[in-house]
Chains A and B, each alone.
Chain A
Amino acid sequence: MKRTIFLRVVAMMLSVVLAFGALGVTSLASESVKTGSLKGESGTAATLEEMQSLLTTSSYEAYLLSHKDSINGDSRKEISLSVTDFNGDAIKVSDSKEVAASIAKSPGNWSELSEEDKAMSVFLPAVSSDGKAASVTWNFDIEVGASGFYTIEIEYFDCIIDAESYVDGENTVPILTKSSVSAIERKLSLRGVIPFDEVSSISFDKHWIYDYKTVSEPYEVPAEKRPFTSVGSVTEYEHIADGDNKGYYKYVTKTYPENGKLMQTVTTYKITQDINGNSMAPSAKAISTWTKHMVTDSSGYSDGALKFYLAEGSQWITLEAIKEPMIVKSIKIVPADAPNYKTDAHGNTYIDEQSSARSYADYLNYIRTEFNDDAKAANGVGTVIEAEFPDYISDSSVAATNDNTSAINSPVSSKAQLYNVIGENSYSAMGQWAAYTFTVDETGFYKLGARFRQDTLQGMFICRTLKLSGGIYGETAEVPFDEAYRIRFGYSNEWQSEYMGYYYDELDDNGNVVTDEDGNPVQSKKEIELFFEEGDEYTLYLECSLGDLKEKIKTVEESLNIINNCYLRILQRTGAEPDKNQDYSFMKYMPEVLVSLLEQAKTLTTVADELEALCGTNGSHIATLDTIARILTTMGADGGEKIAENMSNLKSYLGTLGTWINDSKTSSMMLDSVTIVPSDSDEDDIPYANANFFESIWFEISSFIYSFFTDYDKMGLTEEAQAEEGAVQVWLAMGRDQSQIWRSMIDAKGGFTDTYGKGVSLKLVTGGTLLPSILSGKGPDVYLGLGSSEVINYAIRNAIVGVSGNAGNLTEEQNAVFNNYWYRDANGNEIKSETKLSNEEMTSRGLRLVSSAFEEASRSEIFADAAMKTLTLSDTTYGLPMTMSFAMMFYRMDVLGELGLEVPETWDELLGSLPMLQSNNMTIGVSYVSALDFMIYQMGESMWRYEGDEYDSRWAGSAINLDSNVSLEAFDFVCSLYTEHSLPVSFDTANRFRTGEMPITIGDYISIYNSLVVFASEIGGVWEFSSLPGSIYEDEETGKEIYNYDSLAGVSATVLLNGCQDDIDTLLAAWQFMQWQTSREVQASYGNSIVALIGPAAKYETANKLAINDLSWTAKEKAAISDQMAHMDAIVNYPGSYIIARYMKFAFLDVYNDGLPANEAMMSYIDAINSELTRKRDEFSEYLYSQTTWEEMGLNAPPKLESKGE
C-alpha cells in the first residue's frame, strides 16, 4: 500500500516535471546518454535501473493482497532443494581445502559434524572474485497442482572466517572479507525479482557467548556432604570485593547420579573487576552453530515466517550477499496456510495475519492432556536468574551493565559500579535477544517474574517475545504459543517487579468485546504459566519485538511516508521559503494533497487514541502524534490557506515523526532478574520492586561519601603493576569506552603484552593535556590520535621522534631501531637483522618477527601514500596513521530514481543534474571548505608550489600554488557553485538529506554515515555513498585526458614523544606498540569492538586500508570506501600551513558576500600567505636546512625564500 501511493506520487512528480519544462527534460535526456562509466570496474555507485527498481518493489502486505485470489494447490509438499547444485559465487566446502580448514577453525561445533553433513555444505562468500556482492542461485520446480503459499527454511552455519583467499579449482580466489561483528545479511529474490521490500535484507543471527564461563571436571560429591545433596541443580551468586579472586560470580552446581555415584559439575561465570572494584565488560565471542531459520521479517512488523506465492513451473531462488560469509546446508520450501484474508465494512480486503503458532489456551490443553497429573502448579521453590549473566546473546552488543539507581538492585555496591542489569540501550533493537539456561526441581507449571525498569517510552509499554528451547519445547527456539510474541513491560519511572503476561480484550457474557466510552476495547492482563519438567535443561529467550504496538507503528510509518510526499509536492510548488501572502491555489493544483493531509491527520489521531486506550494513559510520547495531527488539520483546511505559514513547522514535525517511530521501535529496558516460581505463587514470591525509604537514603549517602575516595585515574586498570615504571607509557584522549577496549585488547590473550612480553600503562587524558605535559617533561612515550598538523607542529619543535630511521636528531643506534627487523627468540631475546628473514629461516632458528623496518611497516598496501605524506617533513616521517577521514558523496536513490538522474561521476554531470533538482526545489550539499581544497588536486595540481624541475624537499612548502592558472580556475569553479549555481553555503546535512531536499550531499564519510544511521533510520536502504565526482583535464605533456576524483585525507596518527628515545629498550617497545596498534588485526578488532559496544553508529575510520575489509561494512560500502581510498591525496603540512585555510576562506567569502571576481579575491591574499610561510621557514631554518645542507648549497647561512627568487 505504501508503495502504491509512492508510485502514484512518482507518476505525478514526473508529470509535474514535464509540465514545468519539457525543454529542460529533453536537453537533460540527451545529456544523460552515457557512453560508459568513467570509473569503470572500480565504480560502485548504483545505476539508474537499480535506483528505479527500488521504487517498484512492494510491501509484504501489498504482495499478499495481490495474491488474494490465489488458492493453495492440492498436491503441495515440502521441497528440499539440492543445495550443492548451485549457480553463482559459492563453493562446496569439500571442494576447497582452504575453506574447509578455515571453517574448521571457526569456534563451534563444525568438527563434530559427520562427513556427510560436511559434504552437503556450501560456502557463500560475501564478495565474489570480481569484488562485487556475491550471489548464488538454486533452481527448483513447482509441480502441476502444487502452486500456492510456501515458507522458506534455511539451515545455516554462522562460520567465522579469517582466511583471505580460497582455492577454486586452479585459481586462488580472494574471499576478501573476513568475518566481522555484524549479523549475516542477504537479499532474497525469486525468479530474479525481489518479491517484496521485507526480503531485500533478511538477517541471519550469529550466536554469541561471553567468554566468562568455565565448566569444572565432574567430581564425586564428598561423603560428608552427600546426605544434604540431592539430584538437580543449584544456582548461587557471589560477589568477592577484594583479594585474588575478586569478581562477581555465578555458580551452577549440577548434581547427577552416574554409575551409582553421586557426581557434580560446577559451571562458573565470572565478571572481573578493576582496581576500583568496578565490573569490567566480558568480551563476547561468536560461537558458530547450525541453525534452522525460517525467512522472517527483520523489521519486526510481522510475526512468524514470511509467505511466498509460488506458481507452477520452474522457479529459482537467489541469495545475494549484503554482509558476511555463511554456510548453507539445506533450503526447504515448506507449504503454508493461505493468508487470512478478510473484508472490512467498506468492502476492502485486508489481511488479519496470525502467526502459525497455537493459542495459549491450546497450549494449556495440550499440556493437560499430555501430562495429566503433572499438569498442576509445581511443588517447590523458585529460582532467580540474574539477568546480567546471559548464556547466549544475539549480537555482541547485547551487554550487561551497571545501574545504581536502586538500592536493591542485585548486586549493588555504593563503592563501585557492579554489573547488575542487562540493557538498556544495548538491548533494544528489534530482534536482539538474550538467552538464559535453567532447570527446575519439580515438574509442573511455573510463572516468570521480572524485575525491570522501563522509563524511556513515556506512557507506553514495550514488548518482548518469549521463546523457549529444551525439553518439550524442542531444539530450536520457538514461541510456545502465539501470545508469547507480545509479553508487555509497562512504563514507570521506578523499578517494577511483576509476573510476565500478555493483555487480551475483555469479553462480556455474550462473547462481545467490552469497550470503554470511546469505543476502544478494555484490556486485562493474563499472567502466563509455563510447564517445565525436572531433569530437562531449558533455554529462555527474551527477544525485542514490537508486539501489540506493531500495527500502530506501522500505520504511523506509512503515514510519515505519505506526509513526506505531500511535503515534497508542496515544496515543488512553493519553494523552501513560501510567501505567506501569495495565493498558491493548492485547491486548484493539488487537491489530492489537501485531502491526504486531512486523511493523515485523522489516521494519526486514531492511532493516538488507540495507543491511549492500550496504554491506559496519555504520556508525552503519544501526545506528539496529536500535535502533528493538529498541524496537518490546519494545513489541509480552508483550501490550504495556512500551508505557506506552516511549511517550516511541517518540516520540523516530519523530523519529529521520524524520531517518534525510531523511539517507538527502540524497545529498551533494564532487566535486573527473571524469577521462575511455581504458578501458585503470589506477589511476595518475587523480588521487591523498590527499596524502602531507609535503604534508599543510606545507599545515596554512602555512595556520595565513597565518591570522594574513588581514584578515577585508575578506571579500568586491573593491576597496580600496569601503572608502574618500565612499561610503555601510552596516552589517549578518547572516551572511557574506547580506552577500556584498548586496555582489554592490550591485556587479552594474543594481545600486545602477551605477544611482546612488554607492559603497557594506558592513561586516559583530556584533549589539551599533551602540550603542557611535554613542556613539563612528564609526557608519555606514545600518544594515540594526534592530528597530522599537530604532528608536524610538534615535530619541527623537536617534541616528536621521527620513525623513518633517518631523523637528524637521533643517534645511529636510535635510528637503527626503525631501520632493522627485530626478531624474538625462544628465550625472549630480541635480535636485530637488516634484512627480512624468510619464513623457513625464522622457523629453523626459532625466531618470531616482533618489529619491522619502517619501509615495511608503512608500505602503501597498508597506508595510503597521502596519509603518510601528511606526517612527513623533509623526508622524515613522524608517526603512523591511525585514522583517516575524507569526503565522499552520499545520494538518495529513491529521489534520483524518481527524477531519472544518474549518480554523477563528474562535476559537469553534477551541474547537469542541478537544473532538474532545482526545478523541484531540491539542491546539492557541498561544504565549500573541503571543496576548495580537493578541487585543486582533482584538477591535477597541488596546494604547494614546488620550485625547480625536480622535487627538492628543502624547498617544498616555501610558496603557495594558489596563484597558478589551474588553482585559480579551481577556485573560480568552487565559487561559481555557490554564486552562479546557488548551492547553499550553510546547511544541516542530516536533516535536509532525510527530507529528500538535498538528495546528493558531499562530506566526511564517517560522520555523515554515523549520523544518518541513528538520526534517519527511516530512510535506511534508500541511500548509499560512493566516491566523489571527478574532474577531467588534459595532461600537458601527453595531451591525454585524465579523470581524477581524488579526495583529501584528514589524518590522525600514533606518535612517539620526545624522551622515549633516551632508553633504547623503551624506544623499541614503543615502536613495537605503534606497529601493533596500527596493524590490520588490531585496527579491525578495535573497530569491531567499538561498534559492538556502542552500536552501528560508532563506525571507526581506520587509516589501515587492509582493515577496512574486516570491519562491519556491507560488501558494497567496502568497495566504495576502498575505491576512494585508492584515490586519495593530501595537503602536506609545512611550517605555516595553518594560514592557507584561513585566507582561502576569506577569499571565498569576499567572492560570495561582496561579489568580488574570484581571481582578484584570491590574488589579494597570495602575498600575505607567502610572507607568513617565509617567516615560519626563517624561524625553522635550522631544522629545515642542517648546516651541512646549506653549506652544500654554497650558502653562508640558512637560506631565506628571497634568495631563491620568485
Chain B
Amino acid sequence: MSEEIVKKTDKNRPLQRDEMSKLQWTWKEMKRNKTAYFMLFPFLILFIVFTVLPVLLSMFLSLTDFNMLEMPNWKGVDNYTRLFLDDDIFMLAVQNTLIFACVTGPVSYILSLLVAWFVNELPPKIRAVVTLVFYAPSISGQVYLIWKTLFSSDSYGWANATLMDLGIITSPILWFEDAAYVMPLCIIVALWTSLGTAFLSFIAGFQTVDRSMYEAAAVDGIKNRWQELWYITLPTMRPQMMFGAVLAITNSFGFGAVVDALCGFPSVDYAAHTIMHHLSDYGGSRYEVGYASAIAVVLFIMMFASNILVKKALSKVGE
C-alpha cells in the first residue's frame, strides 16, 4: 500500500495508461513486446511487400491507363466510370460471379461442414481413409480435367456416347461450348473440388472440442444431436469456421482457372465469364492493366464486404 503511494507521487515514475496519448501507449507497448515484434518482422516485411503494396499499387494503377509497356498516364476515375456505365460484359461478369459465389460458396461450406461432421463420427482408421477420399480431388492439381473427358464434345466422349446410346440425343452436345450447359457444369465441378483445406480444418475443429462439455451439456438438458451441434460443437470451433468461410469466399469469387481449362477462354457467349476472367481479359489479352486494376479493386471490395457479412453471421452461431 505504501509503495503504491510513493510511486504516484514520484516524478520519475512511469506514466499510467490514462495519462498517455494513444501513440505513446502504443510505442510503450511495442517496446515492452519488442521480442514479439522482432519475431514478427520477417513475415511483416514479406506481407507488406507482396500483399499490401500490390493492393495499394493496383488501387493507384486503377486511376491510370497503364499498358504494361509504357509509362502510365493519369486518368482519374475514368476507368471506374467506364466499368460501371459502359461495360455490359462487366455487368454480366458480376452477375455470373454472384451466382457462382452464392451457389458454390454456401453450398461448399455447408457441404464441407456436414461431411466433416459425418466423417468425424467414424472410427479413426476408417476416418483417415474417408478423409483422403473426399480431400483427394482438391489436392491432385488439375484432376478436374477428367470432366473434360466425361463431357467431351466429341461423339466419343462418355456423356455424349452414353446419351446417344440411350437414344436421348442424336448428335453430340458441345457440353463446354454451349451456353446452356456451361454454368451448371462449372458449378458442379467447383463443388466437386471444393472439399479442400476448409474441410480439413473442420475435421480438426471437431476433434478439438472438449468431450467433457458434451457431458455437461447432457446434464444441462441437451435434447438431440442437432442441439449438441448448434450449441456446443459449432461455437467451440468458431475459429476454424471463420477460416473455412474466408477460404470459401476467396475460392468462390476467384474461381477462374477451372472454367478456363474446361470451357476455354472466353467461355461461349460469356456464359461463365466471372470477374476474374474479365480481369485477365483486360490485363492479359488487351494489355489494359489500368482498367484491369479497377476491376481488381472492385473484386477486392466485394470480397472484403462479404467477409464482414460472414463474420457477422458466424457470431450468431450458437445463439
Q: Which of B62-70, B117-125, B254-262 contacts its partner?
A: B62-70
Q: What are 24 A-B residue pairs whose CB atoms fall within 8 Å in the complex?
A: A577-B155, A577-B164, A577-B165, A648-B156, A771-B68, A774-B69, A775-B69, A797-B67, A797-B68, A797-B287, A798-B70, A984-B154, A985-B153, A985-B177, A986-B172, A986-B174, A988-B154, A988-B156, A1145-B268, A1149-B177, A1149-B178, A1149-B269, A1153-B268, A1179-B65
Known contacts A984-B155, A1138-B286; A1153 and B177 CB within 8 A of each other? yes
Give the distance in Å from the alpha carbon of A987 to the alpha carbon of B156 in the complex.
8
A579 touches B171 (CB 8 A): no
Question: Is there a chain B Cβ closer than 8 Å to A613's Cβ?
Answer: no
Give the distance in Å from the alpha carbon of A775 to the alpha carbon of B179 in the complex.
38
Question: Is there a chain B Cβ closer than 8 Å to A799's Cβ?
Answer: yes
A797 touches B269 (CB 8 A): no
**A1181 vs chain B, min Cβ distance (A):** 13
- Most chain A CB atoms below 10 A, which of B70, B266, B269: B269
A1153 touches B174 (CB 8 A): yes
Question: Is there a chain A Cβ closer than 8 Å to B140's Cβ?
Answer: no
B-chain residues with CB within 8 Å of residue A1154 when the two chains form the complex: 179
Question: Is there a chain A Cβ closer than 8 Å to B161's Cβ?
Answer: yes
Question: Is there a chain A Cβ closer than 8 Å to B188's Cβ?
Answer: no
**A801 vs chain B, min Cβ distance (A):** 13
B-chain residues with CB within 8 Å of residue A798 when the two chains form the complex: 69-70
A648 touches B269 (CB 8 A): no
B-chain residues with CB within 8 Å of residue A1149 when the two chains form the complex: 174, 177-179, 268-269
B69 touches A986 (CB 8 A): no
B154 touches A986 (CB 8 A): yes
**B273 vs chain A, min Cβ distance (A):** 11
Q: Which residue of A lies closest to B180 (CB)?
A: A1153
A986 touches B165 (CB 8 A): no
Give B contacts to A, CB under 8 Å: 65, 67-70, 152-156, 161, 164-165, 167, 171-172, 174, 177-180, 266, 268-269, 285-287
**A547 vs chain B, min Cβ distance (A):** 38
Q: Which residue of A lies closest to B181 (CB)?
A: A1153
From B164, B174, B266, contact of A985 by CB (8 A): B174
How many residues of A are counted as interface, with CB atoms below 8 angstroms from the partner's CB atoms?
30
Give the distance in Å from the alpha carbon of A579 to the alpha carbon of B161 in the complex.
10
- Most chain B CB atoms below 10 A, which of A648, A985, A1154: A985
**A339 vs chain B, min Cβ distance (A):** 45
Give the distance in Å from the alpha carbon of A648 to the alpha carbon of B179 in the complex.
29
From B69, B155, B268, contact of A1146 by CB (8 A): B268
B70 touches A797 (CB 8 A): yes
**B168 vs chain A, min Cβ distance (A):** 12
Given A774-B69, A775-B69, 19 other A-B residues pairs in contact with their CB atoms under 8 A: A577-B155, A577-B165, A579-B165, A580-B165, A648-B161, A797-B68, A797-B69, A797-B70, A797-B287, A985-B174, A988-B154, A988-B156, A1149-B174, A1149-B178, A1153-B174, A1153-B177, A1153-B180, A1153-B268, A1176-B286
Give the distance in Å from the alpha carbon of A580 to the alpha carbon of B161 in the complex.
12
A1150 touches B269 (CB 8 A): yes
Question: Is there a chain B Cβ closer than 8 Å to A576's Cβ?
Answer: yes
Give the distance in Å from the alpha carbon of A580 to the alpha carbon of B67 in the complex.
58
A799 touches B69 (CB 8 A): yes
Give the distance in Å from the alpha carbon of A648 to the alpha carbon of B156 in the complex.
8
Give the distance in Å from the alpha carbon of A35 to the alpha carbon of B302 in the complex.
69
B266 touches A576 (CB 8 A): no
Q: Which residue of B lies closest to A984 (CB)?
A: B155
Chain B at the A interface: SS class: loop
Give the distance in Å from the alpha carbon of A982 to the alpha carbon of B155 in the complex.
12
Give the distance in Å from the alpha carbon of A987 to the alpha carbon of B157 in the complex.
10
Give the distance in Å from the alpha carbon of A1146 to the alpha carbon of B268 in the complex.
6
Q: Which residue of A lies closest to B171 (CB)?
A: A982
B-chain residues with CB within 8 Å of residue A799 when the two chains form the complex: 69
Give the distance in Å from the alpha carbon of A987 to the alpha carbon of B69 in the complex.
39
In the complex, chain A residues 774-811 whose Cβ is within 8 Å of any chain B Cβ = 774-775, 793-794, 797-799
Q: Which residue of A lies closest to B154 (CB)?
A: A986
B161 touches A577 (CB 8 A): yes
B-chain residues with CB within 8 Å of residue A1153 when the two chains form the complex: 174, 177-180, 268
B-chain residues with CB within 8 Å of residue A1150 when the two chains form the complex: 269
Question: Is there a chain B Cβ closer than 8 Å to A105's Cβ?
Answer: no
Question: Is there a chain B Cβ closer than 8 Å to A358's Cβ?
Answer: no
Question: Is there a chain B Cβ closer than 8 Å to A6's Cβ?
Answer: no
**B130 vs chain A, min Cβ distance (A):** 33
| 0/1 interface trace, chain A 297-319, chain B, CB 8 Å (1 if under) | 00000000000000000000000
Give the distance in Å from the alpha carbon of A1010 to the alpha carbon of B94 in the complex.
44
| 0/1 interface trace, chain A 539-582, chain B, CB 8 Å (1 if under) | 00000000000000000000000000000000000001101100
Query: How many residue-residue contacts, CB under 8 A, span A and B?
Result: 65
B268 touches A987 (CB 8 A): no
**B297 vs chain A, min Cβ distance (A):** 21
Give the distance in Å from the alpha carbon of A912 to the alpha carbon of B152 in the complex.
29
A579 touches B167 (CB 8 A): yes
Give the distance in Å from the alpha carbon of A446 to the alpha carbon of B270 in the complex.
75
Give the distance in Å from the alpha carbon of A793 to the alpha carbon of B154 in the complex.
34
- Most chain B CB atoms below 10 A, which of A794, A986, A1146: A986
B-chain residues with CB within 8 Å of residue A797 when the two chains form the complex: 67-70, 287
In the complex, chain A residues 1084-1119 whose Cβ is within 8 Å of any chain B Cβ = none
B-chain residues with CB within 8 Å of residue A648 when the two chains form the complex: 156, 161
**A979 vs chain B, min Cβ distance (A):** 9
Give the distance in Å from the alpha carbon of A1176 to the alpha carbon of B286 in the complex.
9
A-chain residues with CB within 8 Å of residue B286 when the two chains form the complex: 1138, 1176
**A482 vs chain B, min Cβ distance (A):** 48
**A583 vs chain B, min Cβ distance (A):** 15
A-chain residues with CB within 8 Å of residue B65 when the two chains form the complex: 1179
Give the distance in Å from the alpha carbon of A1154 to the alpha carbon of B268 in the complex.
12
Give the distance in Å from the alpha carbon of A775 to the alpha carbon of B171 in the complex.
49
A-chain residues with CB within 8 Å of residue B177 when the two chains form the complex: 985, 1149, 1153
Q: Which residue of A lies closest to B267 (CB)?
A: A1146
| 0/1 interface trace, chain A 1139-1170, chain B, CB 8 Å (1 if under) | 00010011001101110000000000000000
A-chain residues with CB within 8 Å of residue B153 when the two chains form the complex: 985-986
A-chain residues with CB within 8 Å of residue B155 when the two chains form the complex: 576-577, 984
Q: Which residue of A lies closest to B177 (CB)?
A: A1149
From A579, A987, A1138, A1179, contact of B154 by CB (8 A): A987
Give the distance in Å from the alpha carbon of A440 to the alpha carbon of B162 in the complex.
70
Give the distance in Å from the alpha carbon of A774 to the alpha carbon of B69 in the complex.
7
Give the distance in Å from the alpha carbon of A793 to the alpha carbon of B288 in the complex.
11
In the complex, chain A residues 984-1009 whose Cβ is within 8 Å of any chain B Cβ = 984-988
Task: Report the 7 A-B pairs with minimum CB-CB distance, sorted nearest first.
Answer: A986-B153, A797-B69, A1153-B178, A577-B164, A799-B69, A986-B154, A1149-B268
A1138 touches B285 (CB 8 A): yes
Give the distance in Å from the alpha carbon of A1146 to the alpha carbon of B286 in the complex.
19
A-chain residues with CB within 8 Å of residue B179 when the two chains form the complex: 1149, 1153-1154
Give the distance in Å from the alpha carbon of A1142 to the alpha carbon of B165 in the complex.
33
B-chain residues with CB within 8 Å of residue A580 when the two chains form the complex: 165
B174 touches A1152 (CB 8 A): yes
A-chain residues with CB within 8 Å of residue B287 when the two chains form the complex: 793, 797
From A774, A793, A984, A1179, contact of B172 by CB (8 A): A984
Give the distance in Å from the alpha carbon of A210 to the alpha carbon of B171 in the complex.
57
Give the distance in Å from the alpha carbon of A580 to the alpha carbon of B167 in the complex.
11
**B185 vs chain A, min Cβ distance (A):** 14
| 0/1 interface trace, chain A 658-676, chain B, CB 8 Å (1 if under) | 0000000000000000000
A-chain residues with CB within 8 Å of residue B178 when the two chains form the complex: 1149, 1153
**B286 vs chain A, min Cβ distance (A):** 7
A-chain residues with CB within 8 Å of residue B154 when the two chains form the complex: 984, 986-988
A-chain residues with CB within 8 Å of residue B165 when the two chains form the complex: 577, 579-580
A-chain residues with CB within 8 Å of residue B152 when the two chains form the complex: 986
In the complex, chain A residues 14-35 whose Cβ is within 8 Å of any chain B Cβ = none
**A595 vs chain B, min Cβ distance (A):** 27
**A1124 vs chain B, min Cβ distance (A):** 28
B-chain residues with CB within 8 Å of residue A1152 when the two chains form the complex: 174
Q: Which residue of B lies closest to A644 (CB)?
A: B165
Give the distance in Å from the alpha carbon of A1154 to the alpha carbon of B153 in the complex.
15
**A103 vs chain B, min Cβ distance (A):** 53
